Every structure is written in structure tokens, then in C-alpha cells.
Amino acid sequence: MTKIKDVAIIELGEEGEKSSPWSSTILVLKIETADGEIGYGEAPTTLMTRPVYEQMKEVGRVFMNKEVEEIGKNYLEFYKHSFYLPVSMESTAALSAFEIASWDVVGKEYGAPIYDLLGGKLRDKVRAYANGWYDNCVTPQNFLSKAKEVESMGFGAVKFDPFGSSYDKIEEEDVGKARRIIQTLKEKTKLDLLIECHGRFSANSAIRVTEGIEDLEPYFVEEPVHPDQFEGLKRLREKTEVRIALGERVLNKNLFLPYLTADLVDVIQPDVTNVGGIIQAKESAVLADSFGVEVAYHNAFGPIQSAATLHLDYSIPNFLIQESFEKFWPKWKKGLVKSGYRLENGFFTLNGKPGLGIEIDERILDEYKTEMMEPFNPEEPPWVVKGTFKKERSR
């Protein structure tokens, strides 16, 4: 047993960042034990960079001088002190980073990759779908041109948001435009098509959307309804046969249960960096498996998150497919992790080294350190892919 003796919280980003705001900064956690072992974690930001940073300091106060191996006990200790933890993304994100970093240390102590500590691997590679590829796409041809590039990289599946600037309500004309984009890709590529709604629609609008595209057989439709419209999701479920995915904003395993017991979801999407870490992400998958529901972990931030998520993918029986932004990151983010996992021809593989198995480029930690909030654009929400929240110009 060894205690956590030092904590470093490092925000990384780049002035003039060209990627979408939610991806323009990341928070890296580095913990060191009394034995000199190092562990890394990551917390998401999404226009909450500095609040999450400050909350990581609070988690650090609880974890400092605790036995690093007692991951569950330390998690519950912070849960006890954090009054709003189950519904506070700042708290769950901060806690997730410490939980992941602790697993990294424990794996190194035992000389085992994390997936071995979770029961061993069930697969040797993980199917990925591409996201973040469709910046500045508005027309069907825009989407098709970039989708062809993604297909040439070896991906067999892509996720995208074809709904332009529609929010809450959507006009029939815009449902038709989204349908033309989806239909174009379906007819002119061999890709599985995952449709992203970003939780933007009222139930009535989501019903119009799914009725307008379900014959195109999307792989799944993600967050079709505002996340706080639980009853609206029930109404949608009664009206459509499309496979529904959700969960990136569900902040612990217990909060998935109402969706599962009400049969409102086919694919859950916990995010290891805000659901509470690896244990909560794994137990969410176990819970879903009891209902015959599959898992496609949300993974939209940085490479430490990707590494942690892949260990889960290797070890859960109900894995479906894995989100990947890797090919569309800025150079600094691509370079942060020098080794640990690979993405080739649409599949991820881990290197099998202890803990997370990653090697961090310390130069990136120094060169791209910042204290900024993500950029804010009043014309485009931070959750969209850059340059897409606008209407197609009439011809």
C-alpha cells in the first residue's frame, strides 16, 4: 500500500484553436505516490474548464495522503463530502480524473493493464466510429466529400449531426434537408451512419425527425430529446423503431436505471471522465447488460480518456462500438500521448502495458499549459462541430 503524496492539475490548450470549443482545452491530472509511482487522469471541460479545474483541487484535498489502492473507498469518501455530486458535472468530472489516475498507478504496481484487473480482455481490438470529421459541412455534397475521406482512412462507421441550426423545434423543410444528407451518405458510401441530435429537440420535434429518417435505418440516433424531458423520451419511444442511444450526461450508474427499467434506450453511452471513473463506467455496463442493452462509451475529449475507455471496451461483454475523434485532433492533442494505443483501419488496439499503458510527452505538458476558458461564439453553441450550426443556403 502506498499513499498519494502529490497532485498536479494541468490545463492544456492553444490560442487560436481551430477545433470546436468543447475540444479546445483538456484537464490533465498527474498524481504521484510515496513510492514514486505516477498515474494520469483526465477531466472533461465543455465550457466548464475553470470550474472543473477548481473542483479538482477539492477532490485533491480528499485524495491527498490516501492509500492509492483503495479506489472505491476514496471515491465514496469524496461522495460523502460532495453534497451535489450525483448531479454536478464539475464534481463527477473532477472525481473521475482522480479515479482513473489511481487505476493507472495500481495497474503499474501489479504489472498489469487495467483490463486485466477488470476481469481480463474479451476482445483484441475495438471497432471505432469517426466523429469530428464534418466541420463546415452544410450540404449533402459537403458531407459526402468528407465522408469519403473518412472512409478512405479505414473507418466503417461515422457519426454526424445533419440538423444545421435547428434547435428545440425543427421545420419540415429542415427534416427534409437532414434526410437528404443521410440518404446521400447511405447511397454513396458503405459506412454505418450514427445520427447525432445533441439532445437538442423537444419530443414533438424528435418524433418528426425520427419519422422522417427511420426508413434509412440509421445505426442509432443519439440523444434525440432534451436530456431533461424524460416523459418526452417515453412519447418518442412509442412512435419510433430507431435504435436510441444516450448517456454522456448521465453522471453515475444509478441514474441510468430509470432509462433501463422504462425501456427507453438501446445503447448507453457513459463517459468515463464524468460518470465517476472506471468503476462507475464498468458498473453502468454491467447494469445495462442485465437489460440486454449495449454500450458505446462517449469519448470526445483527449487521449488519456481514450486509453481509459479502451480498457473498458476490452473487458465488457456488451460492447458495441467506440467513438473516436483522434484523426481530427489538433497536433498538440495528438502528441500528448506518445504510446499506449493505436488506431488503424477503423480499429483501436492497446499495447498491453501496465496501468493505462500510456507514455506522456512532458514537452506538451509544458508547452501548451494555459489558464484560459474555452472560446465562446454567440452564433454557435459549444457542443456542435465547428461551422455546422447554420442553414444550407437556398439555391
Segment 277-286 shows an average pLDDT of 98
Q: How far is CA 322 from CA 20, 40, 285, 350, 365, in A?
A: 20, 21, 14, 13, 27
Question: Which residues, 6 or more positions from 236, have their beta carbon under 8 angstroms from its beta carbon?
Answer: 203, 206, 207, 210, 224, 225, 244
Please answer whether residues 108 and 354 qualify as being in contact, where contact means their C-beta atoms are separated by less than 8 angstroms: yes
pLDDT tens-digit series, residues 47-88 = 899 999 999 999 999 999 999 999 999 999 999 999 999 899
* Cell numbers placing 41: 487522469
Query: Of the listed 81, 226, 298, 311, which one is catalytic?
Result: 298
Sheet containing 38-43: give its strands across.
Answer: 4-13, 25-33, 38-43
Query: Of the listed 81, 198, 226, 311, which one is catalytic?
Result: 198
pLDDT tens-digit series, residues 105-141 = 999 999 999 999 999 999 999 999 999 999 999 999 9
Classify strands 347-350 and 126-130 as parallel, antiparallel or unpaired: antiparallel
Note the pLDDT of residue 395: 47
Please answer whether residues 19 and 38 qualify as being in contact, where contact means their C-beta atoms are separated by less than 8 angstroms: no
| 4-112 CATH choice from 3.40.50.720, 2.60.40.1730, 3.30.390.10, 3.30.2420.10 | 3.30.390.10
* Cell numbers placing 105: 498507478
Note the pLDDT of residue 219: 98
Distance CA 139, CA 48 (A): 31
Q: Specify whether domain 116-356 bears CATH 3.40.50.1000.
A: no
Q: State yes or no: is 198 an active-site residue.
A: yes
Distance CA 130, CA 193 (A): 10
Q: Is the dihedral of CA 128, 133, 137, 139 positive or negative?
A: negative
What pTM was estimated for this model as a whole?
Answer: 0.97
Q: State yes or no: is 298 an active-site residue.
A: yes
Segment 330-337 shows an average pLDDT of 95
Segment 188-205 shows an average pLDDT of 98
Sequence spans of domains, the chain? 4-112, 116-356
